[in-house]
Amino acid sequence: MVIDWDDRSPVEAVSGQSLVPVIDDDGRVVSDSTRIFGYLEERYPDPPLYPSDPARRAETEIFIDWFNEVWKRSPNAIDEELEKNAHPAAIATESKRMAVRMSLFEDMLTGRNYLMGDRVSAADFAAFPFLKYAALPVDPSDDEPFHRVLADHQPLRKGHSSLRDWIERIDALPRA
Ligand SMILES: N[C@@H](CCC(=O)N[C@@H](CS)C(=O)NCC(=O)O)C(=O)O
């Protein structure tokens, strides 16, 4: 179910909080994307969302934590600045950070199809909903300013072909 950005009542009714994503698996309600990955891994271990090797699993968890706690700060800061129309210099600084990080994702995909290796993992599912705006068109009916920030501040350069291919690869995965 897709939730209207301005009407969180269905999310609140089911989960007692207002943020998405939330899953309701036959009455088992889990919110927060990282907790949802953990729930799915435990309840439906095949196919796995995390590598079985403990070191690779730790790397995957660290990447997701970095993505949520560090990477997301820049688009959120730009979104807030645009709303207040306060500091263009702050927007430029965060925009530069986002542009530089595009090369990090490109480099992570060197010689492998997914962010953490040759198998799709929770890392890909954590990053894709944000990075996809670099290559996929924004739905014309989508007037969510945060999505515009993601489309406007993630420049896909000529050399970012692995990242472009990854976005298309993840987008082509079957959906529930
Ligand atoms: N840590 C949470 C963050 C959830 C979150 O910020 N969700 C955003 C959409 S990606 C949201 O619902 N925002 C609505 C709001 O802030 O009012 C997670 O990873 O699930």
* Cis status, amide bond into 137, omega within 30 of 0: no
- pTM given for the model: 0.93
pLDDT of residue 56: 97
Q: Which two tokens stand for residue 23?
A: 């899953």
Residue 176 has pLDDT above 90, yes or no: no
Q: Compute the average pLDDT of residues 37-50.
A: 97
Express each pLDDT in 113-123 by its tens digit. 999 999 999 99
Pocket test for ligand 1, best of 3, 14, 19 (most atoms within 8 A of CB): 19
Amino acid at 5: W
- Residues 170, 131: Cα–Cα separation, whole Å: 11
Asked if pLDDT for residue 175 goes beyond 90, the answer is no
CATH entry 1.20.1050.10 includes domain 54-171: yes
User: Which atom of ligand 1 has the smallest separation from the CA of 11?
Assistant: 12
Q: Is 80 exceeded by the pLDDT of residue 86?
A: no
- C-alpha 73/C-alpha 2 separation (Å) is 24
- Please report where in the chains the tokens 């949802």 appear, as a residue: 36
Q: How far is the CA of 117 from the centre of ligand 1 (A)?
A: 27
- Tens digit of each residue's pLDDT (9 = 90 or more) over 102-138: 999 999 999 999 999 999 999 999 999 999 999 999 9
Domain ranges of the chain: 54-171
Does residue 1 surpass a pLDDT of 90? no
In 29-144, alpha helices (H): 33-43, 54-66, 73-84, 88-108, 122-131
- Ligand 1: residue whose CA is nearest its atom 14: 19
Strands 22-25 and 28-31, sheet pairing: antiparallel
> For residue 158, how far is its CA from the centre of ligand 1 (angstroms)?
31
Nearest CA to ligand 1 atom 2: 32
Counting Cα atoms < 13 Å in the Cβ hemisphere of 78 gives 22
Residue nearest (by alpha carbon) to ligand 1 atom 17: 19
Is the pLDDT at 3 greater than 90, yes or no? no
Q: How many helices (H) and strands (E) does the chain have?
A: 8, 2
What is the pLDDT of the chain when averaged over all its residues?
A: 95
What count of other Cβ atoms lies within 10 Å of the Cβ of residue 79? 19
Q: Which residues line ligand 1 (CB under 6 A)?
A: 18-21, 32-34, 68
pLDDT of residue 38: 97
Contacts of 138 (CB under 8 A, 6+ apart): 147, 148, 151
Residue 130: predicted pLDDT: 98
